[in-house]
C-alpha cells in the first residue's frame, strides 16, 4: 500500500543525479518540481539551476517544470532556465504530468520525474507511470501545509528505507 508513494530512486539533490546514465538508458525528458527541488521555496533560479538546464539541453534532454504554484512564480523561473512549464498543475493528478510529456514530445517510458515531496510529486508521477527520483528538500523553511505533510512523509520514508535495506 505504501509502495505507491515510494520513488524508484532517491538522491541527495537534483544536482547530483547521473543524467548521462539516464540518457544512455533511453530517457529523453525530465520533469521537475521547482520549489525545494531546484531552489528554496519562492527563490529565483540561481546559477546552479541555469547550469543544470543548459547541461540537460546539451545532453539532448527536453525538460519541463511542473508546479502547483501560480503562473508568475513558475513562468519567471522557466524563463531564467530556458525551459517549458506548467503551473497550477494539480499534482498528484496525472493531467499535469501528461501535459508536460506532451509539451516535451516524450512518453511515459522515456520520461523521468524529479521532486522533493512524496504525496504530490512522487505519488502523481508514479500514478502516471514515470520513473521517479526523490530528492531531499533544499531548505527547511516551507509553507505550513507542506510542513504538516513532512511529518507523514517521515513515516512512509521509514518503511521505504526498511524495504530498500532488505533488497
pLDDT at 100: 98
pLDDT band at 112 (very low <50, low <70, confident <90, very high): very high
Closest CA relative to residue 19, chosen from 61, 79, 51, 81:
61
pLDDT at 27: 98
pLDDT at 25: 98
pLDDT at 154: 83
pLDDT tens profile 42-80: 999 999 999 999 999 999 999 999 999 999 999 999 999
Q: Judge whether residue 165 has pLDDT over 90.
A: no
Half-sphere exposure of 102 (CA within 13 A, CB side): 7
Residue burial 150-159, b: 16+ Cβ < 10 Å; e: rest = beebeebbee
Q: Which H or E run includes 145?
A: helix 144-166
Most confident of 26-30, 39-43, 117-121, 140-144: 26-30
Of 63-72, 91-100, 156-165, minimum mean pLDDT range? 156-165
Amino acid at each position: 500500500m505504501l509502495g505507491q508513494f515510494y520513488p524508484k530512486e532517491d538522491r541527495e539533490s537534483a544536482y547530483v543525479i547521473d543524467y548521462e546514465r539516464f540518457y544512455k538508458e533511453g530517457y529523453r525528458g525530465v520533469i521537475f518540481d521547482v520549489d525545494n527541488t531546484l531552489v528554496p521555496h519562492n527563490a529565483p533560479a540561481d546559477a546552479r539551476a541555469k547550469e543544470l538546464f543548459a547541461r540537460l539541453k546539451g545532453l539532448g534532454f527536453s525538460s519541463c517544470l511542473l508546479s502547483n504554484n501560480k503562473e508568475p512564480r513558475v513562468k519567471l523561473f522557466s524563463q531564467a532556465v530556458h525551459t517549458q512549464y506548467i503551473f497550477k498543475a494539480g499534482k498528484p493528478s496525472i493531467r499535469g504530468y501528461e501535459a508536460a510529456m506532451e509539451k516535451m514530445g516524450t512518453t511515459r517510458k522515456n520520461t523521468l520525474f524529479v521532486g522533493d515531496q512524496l504525496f504530490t510529486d512522487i505519488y502523481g508521477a508514479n500514478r502516471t507511470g514515470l520513473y521517479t527520483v526523490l530528492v531531499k528538500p533544499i531548505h527547511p523553511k516551507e509553507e505550513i501545509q507542506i510542513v504538516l505533510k513532512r511529518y507523514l512523509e517521515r513515516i512512509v520514508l521509514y518503511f521505504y528505507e526498511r524495504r530498500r535495506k532488505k533488497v
